[in-house]
């Protein structure tokens, strides 16, 4: 057991012995904000004293009298208004590092209560290019899944792609206009661009653009029920609607076009996910739930949860919540008015709310998760509140935590939503290309001695890592400003700096000429002397706190900060404590410290989905 866990357990026991009825779940230790206070502190006794109107320092003294942590810590101190400060004996630090060096742990503990957690993230749309709007969800979701898995939870990742909906009417229409059966766009180098081009064309024709309409007329020669010269905006729109209806009613040709659209898109998704190193256990898109929707609408009607309204079907407030917390009410002109959630449109089609309800039910029934996290844009907060509330009414027996893990927008340097210079949305593929290209310039500048293929590989890892890190570093709920210069900077809190820290440690081991036997046969012995060694060791021991917090609040940015601090501690150690030139005993100890730091850096970056390099 790690020292802080052991201290915490004994502290809780001591509190129970003083206050038998106290709930000790919140009696926790955590790292001290300032090393002068010690290694760990608890402030929980002040809270306990407050709710019981006890003197906090007296309570601290009473608890301390029942607390025995003597073999782990120096004398425990009562400080301030009633803190308990713990300072680890240096032998405790040293033994913990040694057990890590033996591979018994890496400064964190796997959970004793594994949960099954579904993470819903990325969710791009079929037949459209993946763009910057998908990057935060993809990177955040992947990182959270990695963190949960590392801590021993059962994680199911599910990519809920947008493979059904009204846009397919226009897509199929466009497909037929361009006679793609004869000119398979899947064979083009960039089929998605081609699909996007014709989609825009049809869309513009529907809006009445003269050039687009003229183009349609010139191309139109198939299966003509409408006369060519009657293709006007209304005509084009009607035609697209007709194709949609045919698709929905199972028309063979349209289904085949739809399937080919999905196949082309999935290929694009795979290319991007491969570059990002992101994988999914399932890709169950919206279409998968299609067959279930009618029955769900009917069931919600039967149960009185939903009702007809203006031709549509909607869920209204049932009055079970205070109005302020009720997602189905809103205040207008001082009155509470209905704010319903539509589950069926007046044309009889279901919408995304229905699909999300079906998805939720399916996941629960199939995987029995204790938790489902939806990693989406913050603008969907109301939607998810309504979905969750509807689901609770529909399945009151369900025992599952539903979390909307929302995030803010990516902004350009001008503070407005991130776009290209010409005002287009930025494609993910282009973004990754540019990251690698810019990283290549930097690598070439710094290391002209390396052969080009190696520089390319470094640029790939650094470029992708920089984008991911820039995305994970800010608190997920804040908007952040996208800046190439900042994310690729070689100093400061950036991916390249962390990767460099790792590479620099690796370099020590490459130059370590001690023979292999001395590395393996002698029991590893750590002895800490220099202040830089001690603060580095202390920081390594805090890895567990950070991982717990990341998973608890769905916040990888805490890990970013931790890793940056770790790299800073190591840099100070590196400046002040020679490793290879030290005396044998000290050298062995410092090699262990270095190798454990490297391992935590590597593991931490891996949770962020960022690769490390031995050389850069």
Residues 297-326 that bind RNA (CB under 7 A): 309-312, 314, 324
Considering only residues 451 to 470 of the shown chain, the ones binding RNA according to CB under 7 A are 458, 462
Rule CB under 7 A: is residue 44 a binding residue for RNA?
A: yes
Q: Does the footprint of RNA cover residue 166 (CB under 7 A)? A: yes
**Inter-residue contact 313 to 342 (CB < 8 Å):** yes
Q: CA-CA distance, 272 to 254, in Å (whole number)?
A: 27
Query: Binder to RNA among 226, 245, 481, 524 (CB under 7 A)?
Result: 481
Provide the minimum distance between the beta carbon of 383 and RNA in the complex, in angstroms, as a whole number: 5
Residue burial 42-65, b: 16+ Cβ < 10 Å; e: rest: bbbbbebbeeeebebbebbebbbe
DSSP designation for 111: -
Residue 486 is a binding residue for RNA (CB under 7 A): yes
> CB–CB of 353/342 below 8 Å?
yes
Figure out which of the listed residues 191, 373, 496, 556 binds RNA, where binding follows CB under 7 A.
496
Q: Is the dihedral of CA 523, 529, 533, 535 positive or negative?
A: positive
**Sole binder of RNA in the list 66, 301, 549, 606 (CB under 7 A):** 549
Which of 186, 277, 319, 492 binds RNA (CB under 7 A)? It is 492
Restricted to residues 114-143, the positions that interact with RNA (CB under 7 A) are: none
Scanning 190-325, the segments in alpha helix (DSSP H) are 191-207, 210-219, 233-248, 252-276, 293-302
Residue among 148 and 598 whose Cβ is closer to RNA: 598
Q: What gap in Å lies between CA 576 and CA 588, rounded to an integer?
A: 16
Which of the ranges 150-158, 176-184, 203-211, 488-496 carries the binding residues for RNA, by CB under 7 A? 488-496
Pick 92 or 137: Cβ nearer RNA:
137
Q: Cα–Cα distance between 461 and 436 in angstroms, integer? A: 8
Helix/strand/coil for 238: helix
User: Which of 7-15, 148-156, 264-272, 479-487 is the region at the interface with RNA (rule: CB under 7 A)?
Assistant: 479-487
In angstroms, give the least distance from the CB of 219 to RNA: 26
What is the smallest separation between the CB atom of 397 and RNA, expressed in angstroms? 28
- Which residue lies nearer to RNA by CB, 270 or 308? 308
Question: What secondary structure, in 3-state letters, does 147-199 show?
Answer: HHHHCCCEEEEECCCECCCCHHHHHHHHHHHCCCCCCCHHHCCCHHHHHHHHH
Can you tell me which of 71, 229, 333, 449 binds RNA, judged by CB under 7 A?
333
Site string for RNA, 173-192 (x = CB under 7 A): --------------------
Q: Which of 12, 41, 122, 359 binds RNA (CB under 7 A)?
A: 41
Please list every residue from 282 through 301 that binds RNA, using CB under 7 A. Answer: 286
**Site for RNA contains 571 (CB under 7 A):** yes
Half-sphere exposure in the Cβ direction for 134 (13 Å, CA): 27
**By the rule CB under 7 A, 525 interacts with RNA:** no
For 239, half-sphere exposure in the C-beta direction (CA atoms, 13 angstrom radius) is 29
Nearest to RNA of 46, 213 (CB atom): 46
Residue 310: HSE in the Cβ half-sphere, 13 Å Cα cutoff: 7
CB nearer to RNA: pick between 305 and 508: 508
- Cβ at position 418, least distance to RNA in Å: 11
Across 247-256, b (16+ Cβ under 10 Å) vs e yields beeeeeebee
Query: 152 is written with which tokens?
Result: 């021993």
The answer to whether the beta carbons of residues 276 and 138 sit under 8 Å apart is yes
Site for RNA in 55-74 (CB under 7 A): 56
Shortest distance, position 32 Cβ to RNA, whole Å: 6
Annotate each residue in 232-271 with x if it binds RNA (CB under 7 A) or - if it does not, as one string.
Answer: ----------------------------------------
Q: Specify the residue, 226 or 349, whose C-beta has the smaller distance to RNA.
A: 349
Q: Which of residues 421-450 bind RNA (CB under 7 A)?
A: 442-443, 446-447
Q: Which is nearer to RNA, 37 or 220 (CB)?
A: 37
| Beta carbons of 378 and 407 less than 8 angstroms apart | yes
CB of 336 to RNA, least distance (A): 9
DSSP state of 445: H
Work out whether 2 is an interface residue with RNA (CB under 7 A).
no
**Of 305 and 312, CB closest to RNA:** 312
Please, what's the largest Cα pairwise distance for the chain?
Answer: 94
Residues within window 363-402 making contact with RNA, judged by CB under 7 A:
378-383
Residue closer to RNA (CB basis): 214 or 382: 382
Distance, first Cα to last Cα, the chain = 37
Binding segment toward RNA, per CB under 7 A, in 61-69, 177-185, 484-492, 599-607: 484-492
Q: How far is CA 408 from the centre of its chain?
A: 13
Residue number with CB closer to RNA (364 or 411): 411
Binding to RNA by residue 35, rule CB under 7 A? no
Residue 506 and residue 483: Cα distance in Å, rounded? Answer: 29
The stretch near RNA (CB under 7 A) out of 90-98, 100-108, 114-122, 408-416 is 408-416
Using DSSP's 3-state secondary structure scheme, residue 279 falls into coil
Residue among 557, 589, 597, 612 that touches RNA (CB under 7 A): 557
Judged by CB, which is closer to RNA: 99, or 203? 203
Q: Which is nearer to RNA, 409 or 425 (CB)?
A: 409
Q: Are 472 and 556 in contact (CB under 8 A)?
A: yes
**CB 119 to RNA: min, Å:** 17
Using rule CB under 7 A, residue 340 touches RNA: yes
Told to check if 585 binds RNA by CB under 7 A, we report no
Should residue 83 be labelled a site residue for RNA when binding is judged by CB under 7 A?
yes
Nearer to RNA, 90 or 380 (CB): 380
**For RNA, which is the closer residue by CB, 54 or 276?**
54
Give the CA distances from residue 352 to residues 164, 172, 259, 315, in Å, rounded to whole numbers and listed in that order.
10, 21, 20, 14
Find tokens 């003083």 and name the residue.
18
Q: Which of 288, 407, 440, 545 binds RNA (CB under 7 A)?
A: 545
| 250 to 50, 58, 165, 243, 256: CA distances (angstroms) | 67, 76, 14, 11, 10
Q: CA angle at residue 475 from 471 to 480, to 5 degrees?
A: 55
């Amino acid at each position: 057991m790690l020292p802080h866990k052991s201290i915490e357990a004994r502290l809780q026991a001591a509190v129970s012995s003083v206050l038998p009825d106290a709930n000790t779940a919140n009696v926790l230790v955590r790292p001290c904000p300032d090393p002068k206070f010690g290694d760990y502190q608890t402030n929980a006794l002040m809270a306990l004293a407050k709710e019981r109107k006890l003197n906090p320092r007296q309570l601290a003294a009473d608890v301390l009298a029942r607390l025995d942590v003597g073999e782990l810590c120096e004398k425990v101190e009562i400080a301030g208004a009633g803190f308990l400060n713990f300072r680890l004996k240096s032998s405790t630090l040293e033994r913990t590092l040694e057990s890590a060096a033996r591979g018994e742990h890496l400064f964190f503990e796997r959970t004793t209560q594994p949960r099954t957690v579904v993470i819903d993230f990325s969710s791009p749309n079929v037949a459209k290019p993946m763009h910057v709007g998908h990057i935060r969800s993809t990177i955040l979701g992947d990182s959270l899944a990695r963190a949960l898995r590392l801590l021993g939870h059962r994680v199911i990742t599910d990519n809920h792609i947008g493979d059904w909906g009204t846009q397919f009417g226009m897509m199929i229409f466009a497909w037929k206009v361009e006679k793609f059966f004869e000119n398979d766009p899947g064979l083009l180098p960039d089929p998605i661009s081609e699909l996007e081009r014709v989609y825009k064309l049809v869309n513009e024709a529907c809006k009445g653009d003269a050039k687009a309409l003229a183009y349609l007329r010139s191309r139109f020669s198939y299966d003509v029920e409408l006369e060519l010269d009657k293709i006007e905006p209304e005509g084009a729109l009607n035609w697209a609607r007709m194709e949609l209806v045919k698709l929905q009613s199972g028309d063979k040709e349209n289904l085949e076009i739809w399937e080919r659209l999905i196949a082309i898109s999935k290929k694009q998704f795979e290319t991007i996910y491969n570059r990002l190193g992101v994988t999914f256990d399932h890709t169950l898109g919206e279409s998968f739930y299609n067959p279930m929707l009618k029955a769900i609408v009917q069931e919600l009607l039967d149960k009185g949860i939903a009702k007809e309204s203006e031709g549509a079907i909607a869920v209204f407030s049932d009055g079970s919540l205070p109005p302020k917390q009720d997602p189905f009410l809103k205040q207008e002109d001082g009155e509470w008015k209905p704010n319903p959630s539509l589950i069926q449109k007046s044309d009889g089609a279901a919408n995304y709310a229905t699909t999300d309800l079906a998805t939720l039910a399916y996941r629960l029934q199939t995987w029995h998760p204790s938790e489902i996290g939806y990693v989406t844009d913050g603008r969907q907060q109301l939607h998810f509140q309504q979905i969750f509330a509807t689901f609770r009414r529909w399945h009151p027996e369900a025992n599952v935590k539903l979390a909307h893990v929302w995030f803010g927008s990516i902004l350009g340097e001008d503070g407005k939503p991130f776009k290209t210079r010409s005002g287009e949305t930025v494609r993910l593929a282009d973004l990754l290309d540019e990251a690698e290209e810019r990283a290549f310039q930097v690598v070439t500048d710094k290391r002209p001695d390396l052969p080009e293929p190696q520089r390319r590989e470094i640029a790939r890892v650094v470029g992708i890592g920089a984008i991911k890190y820039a995305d994970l570093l800010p608190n997920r709920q804040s908007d952040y400003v996208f800046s190439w210069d900042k994310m690729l900077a070689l100093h400061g809190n950036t991916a390249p700096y962390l990767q460099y820290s790792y590479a620099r440690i690796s370099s020590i081991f490459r130059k370590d000429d001690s023979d292999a036997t001395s590395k393996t046969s002698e029991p590893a012995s750590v002895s800490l002397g220099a202040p830089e060694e001690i603060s580095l060791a202390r920081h390594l021991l805090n890895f567990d706190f950070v991982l717990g917090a990341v998973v608890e609040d769905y916040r990888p940015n805490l890990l970013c900060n931790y890793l940056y601090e770790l790299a800073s501690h190591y840099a100070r150690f590196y400046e002040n404590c020679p490793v290879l030139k030290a005396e044998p005993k000290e050298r062995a100890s410092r090699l262990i410290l270095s190798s454990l730091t490297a391992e935590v850096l590597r593991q931490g970056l891996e949770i962020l989905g960022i690769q490390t390099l031995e050389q850069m």
